[in-house]
Structure 1
Amino acid sequence: MGRMTGEETRTPKSATVRDPAGGDARKAGAGAPRAWTTRLLVLGIVLSALNLRPAITSFGALLEEVRDGLGMSGSVAGLLTSLPSLCFAVFGAVAPRLARRFGPGAVVCAGLAAIATGLLTRPYAGGTAGFLAASALALAGIAVGNVLMPVIVKRWFPDRVGSMTGLYSMALAFGTSLAAAVTVPVTDALGGDWQPGLAVWAALAAAAVLPWIPFVRDRGTGAAGQAPARGHTPALRITRSRTAWALAVFFGLQATAAYITMGWMAQIFRDAGVPAGTAGLLLSLTMVMGVPLAFVIPRLATRLPHQGPIVLALGLCGLAGYAGLHFAPVGGAWAWAVLLGISNCAFPLALTMVGMRARTGAGVAQLSAFAQSTGYLISIPGPLLVGVLYQHSGGWGLPIALMCALMVPQMAVGVLAGRARTVEDEAAR
């Protein structure tokens, strides 16, 4: 495997590879995009990314108010913090199939509409069951975006996987931190009721639908948008790839850490005596750390022959942040928020490795769906278990110990996933 220069990913050169799902990966469909099409697509990617986490972090910022308003126990609240992983696993698995049938533009557009509808209705759905159902609708829309964004990047920007993944990840981190930071102040400005404070995020999702409307009829997206060409194997035996499994487990463990952080970190600080508004700002700081780092880390990852050192550095930051939460949650609160924000940048690294560990658009589609669906299944028990431990132990010692314990295998499998391999080669063996 030759060494690649610039921003190219360290897989066999993908810019001119024949994609078994649709010809040249750059020229699938209608050929090279026009300038306005590219700009509109970039805008659509950025706006989509902005909407992929506010449904979660806005809920985390108002977790105590929602629990009181709906009469939730700690275990039920833990279930709600696990719901994103469950929805991402279930609906993410079907995203490539939907994209092949309807085109990824149509699926992403419909997903954003589902996000807007779910966010608007969940505060007023009536009771915990209605809140869960409306949340699931929004999270289903997020799930298809999670899976299809790496595919769209690989298809339209094969020579800029690192920078486009970084831009997408940076927008995602900004949306995450924005919701964490302003949900409490917006709620106060709207009269102190948590319901409009959560519903207001539907407007951002509705705005994100607009750039995707011109792409609703476009099915020329290579791996995700066309049927396999005749004479080619329709699908990889992805489960034969050790790298695919390592990446799936890495994705699952980093998602576990991220959703525990988004769902529970503000509550940890509030229980330690930090005011609600400050706790929201601390969560926002954790999320906003991903804005610059989500752009830098993918670009750095594409220039390294092995991404293991980045995995280890992020994991050590996470261990230090968890230790700080346990021993000095108030005194070093801002430092722990920064360290956990750095650790959460394992997410853009995982997305980048999805693009690097497959040679073709078809491979990226399968690897993205497999790694994310399997990974999110793995992550389901974590936030729920934190809620159960918190309720039954009456403190945060055991939940934080669990977080530390999960970081060790995350680092181990991340090192394995960072090796310069491709799933096509491993599946062929």
Structure 2
Amino acid sequence: MASEETRTLKSPTVRTSAAHDAREPGGPPTRAWTTRLLVLAIVLSALNLRPAITSLGALLEEVRDGLGMSGSVAGLLTSVPPLCFAVFGVTAPRLARRFGPGAVVCAGMAAIAVGLLIRPYTGGTAGFLAASALALMGIAVSNVLMPVIVKRWFPDRVGSMTGLYSMALALGTSAAAAVTVPVTEALGGDWRSGLAVWAALAATAVLPWLPFVRERGAASTEQSHATPAREDAPAREDAPALRITRSRTAWALAAFFGLQATAAYITMGWMAQIFRDAGVPAGTAGLLLAVTMVMGVPLAFVIPRLATRLPTQGPIVLALGICGLAGYAGLYFAPAGGAWAWALLLGVSNCAFPLALTMVGMRARTGAGVSQLSAFAQSTGYLISIPGPLLVGVLYQHSGGWGLPIALMVALMIPQMLVGVLAGRDRTVEDEAAR
């Protein structure tokens, strides 16, 4: 199959937007300026899609003590992100059709900022969960719409742009894991301040989206200024004609997304605690988690570009899965002795996430197909991932060790590899749904 970048090279969307920029009265921004601003908006948004989770993972023990949580409740806390992503992510395509994807992502960044600012100061577990849900709601809609925005505005650069925002996402993830503990110590050791500081980054991400909010977002602007020959293209993208549940590839991609998310949230929520229980100091455990996350910075840029150049993505899926199995084995047999090696291997394995996002763009031909597939795969996938982190907390509390939780992680990696190979086959959901 030709890569998505080749297939969509002649998409009219960017040219229409450029024409609008050229015609806008009163000193319009150039096409290059608009493109740079949109790239900045995407990068800043991606930086904010995981600090709400990994900053909490770095301070989970302090939060548990401060709020009086048991191990099971802490496991529930680590399951809240995928629950919110599943519940709120499915609404993203409808919101984008009504308000425009730029406006929805802008509102999502604002929700993240508010949620992160108030959640440490709510005074109890229930309030902490509610404020976390507000932030995660913003993350959920942005998660779903990032592939849609890339497909719509950068149809000839799906691989490179997916790699760019995946790299920024990994950078934000790792930075939150690495610096949350030192920042907390610099602020007097108060875990509340250490968590709330990340609201500033989210507030910054609101600003570059503001020009794309007007006139129901850039999508509607493009439609209203399109030439007659192109007027029906956005309408066709918005038509919900695709019956996504008829596609086996969509189901395989949803399962792959869910299982890789399970592994990722177990890692983000519990890996630092595994190292701390093995005798690793808290600051070093945070750095180890950061190493795991920072592996995604270079690989999240390389893997999507490689994936778009291969007819099938199964070999990449298998290579990442083998790294995950090796990392889990290391955590079981020598968690402290080989800690840095296990952190590196699990970091490579976690790059199944940018691969899954890339396959979302490759397994559909149209913007509407990408939107539906992204919402279906992510919402269904995050539903699948909900029990994993919670079950790890329960097993940890009742077994008194990490043997059973790590065995669970190994058991989940096998089907992840199988469904990933199926999702990586050379086909599109439009063809499967039409049969």
The normalised TM-score by structure 1 is: 0.94
Deviation at 1:118, TM superposition (A): 0.4
Alignment of 1:120-135 (within 5 A): 120-135=117-132
Match of 1:20 in 2: none
1:83 matched to 2:77? The reply is no
Alignment of 1:62-211 (within 5 A): 62-211=59-208
Which residue identity is paired with 2:61? E
Structure 2 alignment gaps of length 5 or more:
22-30, 225-231
Deviation at 1:217, TM superposition (A): 1.4
Match of 1:300 in 2: 306
Q: 1:377 is paired with a residue of what secondary structure?
A: helix
Select the residue among 251, 260, 275 that pairs with 1:254.
260
Give me the whole-angstrom Cα distance separating, in 2, the residues matched to 1:99 and 1:406. Answer: 34
Match of 2:354 in 1: 348
1:15 matched to 2:9? The reply is yes
Give me the whole-angstrom Cα distance separating, in 1, the residues matched to 2:265 and 2:404. Answer: 17
C-alpha contact 1:298 1:349 (8 A) present in aligned 2: yes
Task: Quickly say closer, same or farther: Cα 1:50–1:232, change in 2 above 3 A.
Answer: closer
Select the residue among 325, 328, 331 that pairs with 2:337.
331
Give me the whole-angstrom Cα distance separating, in 1, the residues matched to 2:376 and 2:17. Answer: 24
Give me the whole-angstrom Cα distance separating, in 2, the residues matched to 1:146 and 1:302. Answer: 20
Give me the whole-angstrom Cα distance separating, in 2, the residues matched to 1:181 and 1:231. Answer: 41
The normalised TM-score by structure 2 is: 0.93
Which residue identity is paired with 2:403? G
Select the residue among 387, 405, 414 that pairs with 1:408.
414
Match of 2:370 in 1: 364
C-alpha contact 1:359 1:422 (8 A) present in aligned 2: yes
Deviation at 1:27, TM superposition (A): 4.5
Match of 2:26 in 1: none
RMSD, aligned CA: 1.9
Match of 2:228 in 1: none
Give me the whole-angstrom Cα distance separating, in 1, the residues matched to 2:241 and 2:281. Answer: 52
Select the residue among 311, 318, 322 that pairs with 2:328.
322
Match of 1:274 in 2: 280
Q: 1:235 is paired with a residue of what secondary structure?
A: coil
Q: Report the structure, 1 or 2, having the larger helix content.
A: 2
Match of 1:36 in 2: 33
Select the residue among 41, 45, 49 that pairs with 1:48.
45
Give me the whole-angstrom Cα distance separating, in 2, the residues matched to 1:168 and 1:394. Answer: 39
Give me the whole-angstrom Cα distance separating, in 2, the residues matched to 1:390 and 1:225. Answer: 54
**How many matched pairs?**
417
Match of 1:229 in 2: 235
Which residue identity is paired with 1:284? A
Task: Quickly say closer, same or farther: Cα 1:225–1:341, change in 2 above 3 A.
Answer: farther
Q: 1:351 is paired with a residue of what secondary structure?
A: helix
Give me the whole-angstrom Cα distance separating, in 1, the residues matched to 2:321 and 2:14. Answer: 35
Deviation at 1:328, TM superposition (A): 0.2
Task: Quickly say closer, same or farther: Cα 1:298–1:405, change in 2 above 3 A.
Answer: same
Give me the whole-angstrom Cα distance separating, in 2, the residues matched to 1:364 and 1:154. Answer: 8
Structure 1 alignment gaps of length 5 or more:
18-23
Deviation at 1:231, TM superposition (A): 12
Farther off after superposition, 24-33 or 97-106:
24-33
Deviation at 1:15, TM superposition (A): 2.9
Deviation at 1:235, TM superposition (A): 2.5
Match of 1:386 in 2: 392
C-alpha contact 1:25 1:360 (8 A) present in aligned 2: no
